[in-house]
Amino acid sequence: MPALRIAALVSGRGSNLAALLGACADGRIAGKVVLVASDKPNCAALTVAGKAGVPTVALRPGDYPDRRSFDDALFDALAASDSDLLVLAGYMRIIDPSVLVSWAGRAVNVHPSLLPLYRGLHTHAQALAAGDAEHGASVHFVTAELDGGPVLAQARIAIGPGDTEATLAARLLVHEHRLLPAVVGAIAAGRIAWNGGNPTFDGRAIDTPLTLDGNGRLGAAI
């Protein structure tokens, strides 16, 4: 199988991007990040990309009259990269559904909650406020619905009595850094497939999100 061409969208510090780049470098992902695009020209994630020698493009939403025209410009750049897969690695902006149509089944997002719980922002605070015993992260296929596409894999952590928004976010991030590369690696290997919106893993429907075992291997939840 030829190496998967990956484009990433980023807005922030870039730790998930760094995890993705690391997994491409050490062979866990049979792929290459060919473009990193952002809505935040000064974000740290672009520095992460630059240091890894990955081409970047950054556009300012304020330079465009509306969301649609900004997304058209951004997604034109993504299309020009000739990527097979788009990874939202900490991209914090709502995307106009019209530009996602051509990426159906070819875009994934990492989200810090046990979807379908807590779409959108402030997920750690919401889990705490709800008194949840568990929190987690999800990787899902991107659809027009915000944080709403089919969930592929999840990592779970217990919420302790002393947890704050910050401790929870920090503890969960470590799991995101394993989960996202594992899912992208499985897509690159042809093990996870979109299957018209009913994703499969090794040919079987993903009815329950996949999990990682102690060795970082992706598999059906037990």
Report the nearest approach of ligand GRF to the CB of residue 41 (Å).
Answer: 15
Does 14 bind ligand GRF (CB under 6 A)? Our answer is yes
Query: How far, in Å, CA of 10 to CA of 90, rounded?
Result: 5
Does 13 bind ligand GRF (CB under 6 A)? Our answer is yes
Report the nearest approach of ligand GRF to the CB of residue 180 (Å).
Answer: 8
Q: What are phi and psi of 42, to 5 degrees?
A: -105, 10
Cα end-to-end distance, the chain, whole Å: 30
Structure tokens at 9: 């969208």
Q: Which amino acid is at 48?
A: V
Q: How many CB atoms lie within 10 A of CB 50?
A: 12
Report the nearest approach of ligand GRF to the CB of residue 135 (Å).
Answer: 12
Does 136 bind ligand GRF (CB under 6 A)? Our answer is no
Report the nearest approach of ligand GRF to the CB of residue 87 (Å).
Answer: 10
Stretches 1-9, 12-20, 60-68, 188-196: which one binds ligand GRF (CB under 6 A)?
12-20
Over the window 85 to 114, marking each residue x when it contacts ligand GRF by CB under 6 A and - when it does not, the resulting string is ----xx-------------------xxx--
Over the window 161 to 200, marking each residue x when it contacts ligand GRF by CB under 6 A and - when it does not, the resulting string is ------------x--x------------------------
Please pick, among 111, 124, 135, 140, the residue that the annotation labels catalytic: 111
User: What residue spans of 6-57 are helical by DSSP H?
Assistant: 15-25, 44-51
In three-state secondary structure terms, 73 is helix
Query: How far, in Å, CA of 72 to CA of 112, rounded?
Result: 27
Stretches 10-18, 21-29, 52-60, 207-215: which one binds ligand GRF (CB under 6 A)?
10-18
Asked if 105 and 197 touch (Cβ cutoff 8 Å), the reply is yes
Q: Is 111 a catalytic residue?
A: yes
Choice between 71 and 198, CB closer to ligand GRF:
71
The DSSP code for 189 is T
Edge-to-edge strand list for the sheet holding 4-10: 56-58, 31-38, 4-10, 85-88, 107-111, 134-141, 151-158
Contact positions vs ligand GRF (CB under 6 A): 12-16, 45, 89-90, 110-112, 173, 176
Q: Which residues are catalytic?
A: 111
